[in-house]
A = this chain, B = another copy of it.
Amino acid sequence: MSSHPLRQVIEAADRAISDENLEAVLDFYAEDATLVVKPGLNAVGKEAIRRAFVAILDYFGHSLTVKQGEMVVLEGGGDTALVIMETILEFPGPDGTVASITRQATYVFRKNEVGQWLCVIDNSYGVDLLKEEHHA
């Protein structure tokens, strides 16, 4: 399943994040997309997502690299796809070595009228949103 076109899309998006190319990052999102910044805090719409990425890149000391692990794509009705994937964040650890976080992410994409996949829901926390402390 790793040959699904969405793998290349996500690889390119993660590369744009690692390169801090915010214009390129935003091109992967639909206008009214939702990004889970952290559990309980969502950014809705491109302007809010841009501000969230500015904060995220700052938080990681402008040294964040996003990589991809295993991936499963489920295509459903209405040109919609659910992507379940390992997303690996690498950043400088306190001792100068590379620290990493691996998340089991859930992304929803929709194909637009010209056949381009755009991210409509970016939830890198996956089912961890169900943890007691994360919902009201």
Q: Using a CB–CB distance below 8 Å, which chain A residues touch chain B?
A: 1, 29-34, 36, 42, 69-70, 72, 74-78, 80-82, 84-86, 104, 106, 108, 110, 118, 120-121, 123, 126-127, 129-130, 134-136
CB < 8 Å neighbour of A135 from B70, B120, B127: B70
Q: A32-B76, A69-B130, A72-B135 are in contact. List 14 more A-B contacts (CB 8 A).
A: A30-B76, A33-B76, A34-B74, A70-B130, A74-B121, A76-B121, A77-B110, A80-B80, A81-B121, A82-B108, A84-B126, A84-B130, A104-B130, A108-B108
A76-B130 contact in complex given A1-B136, A82-B121, A135-B70, C-beta closer than 8 Å: no
